[in-house]
Amino acid sequence: MRRRPPPLSSILLGAHAPATPRPAPPPPPLASGPAGLSSAPDAEGLFSYARPEGKSGGHGVGWSEIPRYAFRVPAGWEETPVSIADLGGTEIDLRFASKEMGSLAVVVAPVLRFMDVGFNADLRIEGLGPPDRIIAGFAPEIFGKPLDEDSVTDTQVVSVNGMTYYRWAVKPHALVAATAFRNRLFICTINCANARQAKKHAAELLKIRDSFVVYNTA
């Protein structure tokens, strides 16, 4: 049975999201190595990626510059090419992959494409909708199909540097984090190829997802 996004009133009364975002560790420093990846690992053995300043996006002329985002990955992850023919089209801003752990993609979606808010809007994710509505609305874009009733196995709401982030675990082997800043929604999705990958690298994959941040600076 395919899952349709439930009405807003039923989501707000649901039990998935806590009423108050819980705090999370601060984001990593902006990376300065080649292609945005730090040249050396941190104390946990992870490398920091930060979207290079001034990197072009696929949203066309007239859009403001995309705010920088960052995440951390273990050794073995590498950036891979993005094609407009990919699932998600021009809204896929970045892809990473690891032979051992799976793949990562970052969607940067202009809010104006689904809300009438203007080019200079400054929105946060809680203003776009609760967690269930966001993940259900973007599932076809990030997974290639709608969610089933039991697809989402965990939902978290956390606060990092004053911004709210939604995080999910989604069957069969996906981890997702999302936030909104200014006039864009950011969604980071990590997919494992199989159950063996997901089980063997569960702790590292959670660290990657939970490290995803957008820098809310001017």
- Does the domain at 8-214 match CATH 3.40.1000.10? Answer given as yes
pLDDT in tens, 165-213: 999 999 999 999 999 999 999 999 999 999 999 999 999 999 999 999 9
pLDDT in tens, 18-69: 434 555 444 555 444 445 688 899 999 999 999 988 776 554 444 568 899 9
Strands 152-160 and 22-23: parallel
- Give CA–CA dist 68/51, Å, rounded: 5
Place 154 in a pLDDT band, splitting at 50, 70 and 90.
very high
- Give CA–CA dist 119/33, Å, rounded: 32
What's the whole-number mean pLDDT along residues 73-79?
95
Does 16 score more than 50 pLDDT? Answer: no
- Give CA–CA dist 135/137, Å, rounded: 5
Give the tokens for residue 161.
């540097």
Q: What is residue 121's predicted lDDT score, i.e. its pLDDT?
A: 81
Q: Report the predicted TM-score, pTM, of the whole model to 2 decimal places.
A: 0.81
Place 10 in a pLDDT band, splitting at 50, 70 and 90.
very low
Domain segments of the chain: what residues?
8-214
Does 71 score more than 70 pLDDT? Answer: yes
